Structure 1
Amino acid sequence: MAPDATIEGRFDGIEHRFPVRVYFEDTDLSGVVYHANYLRFMERARSDMLRLAGIDQRAAHEAGEGAYAVRDMAIRWLAPARLDDMLVVVSKLMKIRAAAALIHQRVMRGQTILAQADVEAAFVAPSGRPRRQPTDWITKFEHLLWKGH
């Protein structure tokens, strides 16, 4: 793998690890990461996790099959990130249903959890109505699914 390919992050077992550096544009007047930017970090991590898992969202969208949309998210901010911090967004597929994926995400600085979220991404038709995910996507997810209790 070429060194530049790491921009998409990597899988460590079933967890996807996505690196993020905090830039000035990510911070607010107090010098900490603005709360909404954690959502951006998590969105990028989810997109690259899916890409590395072999899910081609763009092809599905262009073929008129549909796309993922965040249906629900519960987020908790625990500690601030600051300018130049190196963060890692750790994403784990918790559950897969016919029309949705449930993903747990943590934004980490070293061993410290800065924010964590439980995200439900629903697969929706171009009309916006929920629809079943492509069967081959569910098959690709099976080896990444968390097997905990």
Structure 2
Amino acid sequence: MTVPPNPPMPRPAEGRLDGPLHRFALRAHFEDTDLSGVVYHANYLRWFERARSDLLRQLGIDQRAAHEAGEGAYAVSDLQIRYLAPARLDDDVLIETAAEELGAASSRLVQRAYRLAAGDGPAVLLSDMRVRVGFLGPDGRPRRQPAAWRSAFASFQSATPET
């Protein structure tokens, strides 16, 4: 097999912003499932976290730089999750995230996981979650979110969906 000198390398999956929603697609892999082939409940938390991290990246929020500069980081302070239908091995899953509330030191987000149907069939709501994330300083105490971050969230929250 001949390999081109500089083959294009695949990039990690990214979500996309669609007005006041962030959409992040993934697939349920074997590692996500239990013995029966159903996605283990804790893996929804991982999927929701992955989608939130991608949302921040899409909004231009550099969590790593803020942490390394000693500014602080987001931490989950509260969440409520419901499981409505099971995801199974090889299901295509879409995570949607919306900003529900913006505060000086915290934000509340709503996230939903859908199983995408093959073809044009309807998506099935698998799980929904409300999560509050607080911005914490290096000392572990709440502090105001950086102004640019709050502005990015406010713009996202008030964006108009694409048609």
TM-score (norm 1): 0.93
Equivalent position to 1:23, from 17, 29, 35: 29
Cα distance change on mapping 1:97 and 1:5 into 2, 3 Å: farther
Aligned length: 146
Instruction: State the shift of 1:146 in Å.
Output: 5.3
Aligned to 1:95: 101
Q: Show the 5 A alignment for 1:8-47.
A: 8-47=14-53
Question: Deviations for 1:67-104, whole angstroms, at most 9, x for unmatched residues?
Answer: 00000000000000000000010000111100011100
Structure 2 counterpart of 1:84, from 80, 85, 90: 90
Structure 1: which 5+ residue stretches go unaligned?
A: none
User: Which residue does the alignment assign to 1:128?
Assistant: 140
Aligned to 1:75: 81
Letter aligned with residue 125 of structure 1: G
The answer to whether residue 140 in structure 2 is matched with residue 137 in structure 1 is no
Question: Are 2:66 and 1:55 aligned?
Answer: no
Bigger Rg, structure 1 or 2: 2
Distance 1:5 1:118 in 2: 30
Following TM superposition, by how much is the alpha carbon of 1:46 offset from its aligned partner in structure 2, in angstroms? 0.2
Distance 1:130 1:37, change over 3 A: same
Look up the SS of the partner of 2:95 in the other structure.
Answer: strand
Separation (CA, whole Å) in 2 of partners of 1:74 and 1:46: 15
Residue 116 (str. 1) matches residue 128 (str. 2): yes
What is the CA-CA distance between 1:6 and the residue it aligns to? 7.2
Segments of 4+ in structure 1 off by > 4 A?
Answer: none
Report how far residue 130 of structure 1 moved. 0.6
Q: TM-score, normalised by structure 2?
A: 0.85
Amino acid at match of 1:12: D
Does the CA-based 8 Å contact 1:23-1:83 persist in structure 2?
yes
Output the aligned Cα RMSD: 1.7
User: Which shifted more, 79-88 or 137-146?
Assistant: 137-146
C-alpha distance in 1, partners of 2:151/2:46? Answer: 27
Q: 2 CA distance for matches of 1:55 and 1:94?
A: 18
The separation in 2 between residues aligned to 1:144 and 1:101, in whole angstroms, is 12
